[in-house]
Amino acid sequence: MTLTSTTHRLRACQTSDIPAIRDIAEHYVNNTVITLALEPPSDDDIAQSWGRSVAEGLPYIVAVDEQDAVLGFCSAGLFRGGGGRGGYRHTVELSLFCHPGHMKEGIGSALLQKVIDILRAPDQFPDFIDTPRAEHSRVRAVLACMSIDETMWKNGLGLRDFYVKHGFKEVGHMKNVGHKFDRWYAFWQPTLECDDMSGLTVLTRIDTLYLQFELW
């Protein structure tokens, strides 16, 4: 368990967190285009996603307050769901969401950095990873996904700026590839170049946003 402030701490997800994670995800599905999902996930959907991450030796973590209430969550899952494509085993997709009532409290930054740290050196985080991946299957690239809404924070670029602040760079932009709330949204591809990350790569799907972060 990792302390992020006097009131927030990070820990591995547990069964009792599922309803709170579902509620957070439901808010973003129903009210934003950060995700282009059209239907909110069920408890079973959340449980299955968590289970897949754990089974693959990947982190699924939450930020909680002093009463253990979930303030946000971040997970890494198989790129494109795996789907028997073993060649993608070194690439994962990132999901990062904060409780709408606890924005701009450093929770997202703490979750993002912790997941990256865990992916880089899973053996050093036994409280978060029960069975680390074998050396030949370690993660190299991390992908994260979001969408841009021009009517939102910083004309829809606030989330992009969040990743840029953490060292990411834009590398591409595809227009009108997503549709939600009777509007069309674009696809954006950024990349990260950061000397002190030892070559770490991350991709993020925006407006669907993509950022690339190489772990090794």
Domain 1-75+97-136 = CATH 3.40.630.30: yes
For residue 96, which of 7, 190, 21 has the smallest C-alpha distance?
Answer: 21
Amino acid making up residue 51: G
CA distance 50 to 126: 17
Give the model's confidence band at 199: pLDDT under 50 very low, under 70 low, under 90 confident, else very high: very low
* Higher local confidence (pLDDT), 168 or 99: 99
Q: What is the pLDDT of residue 104?
A: 87
Taking 60 as the threshold, does the pLDDT of residue 164 lie above it? Answer: yes
Q: What is the DSSP letter of 40?
A: P
Q: Which residues pair with 202 in a beta bridge?
A: 142
Q: What is the pLDDT of residues 25-84, one digit of tens each?
A: 999 999 887 777 889 999 999 999 999 999 999 999 999 999 999 999 999 998 877 666
Percent of residues in the chain assigned helix, strand, coil, to nearest 5: 35, 30, 35
Give the chain's mean pLDDT.
Answer: 80
CA distance 170 to 210: 8
Q: Which residues pair with 141 in a beta bridge?
A: 91, 214
Segments making up each domain of the chain, as ranges: 1-75+97-136, 140-216
The predicted model gives 163-182 an average pLDDT of: 68
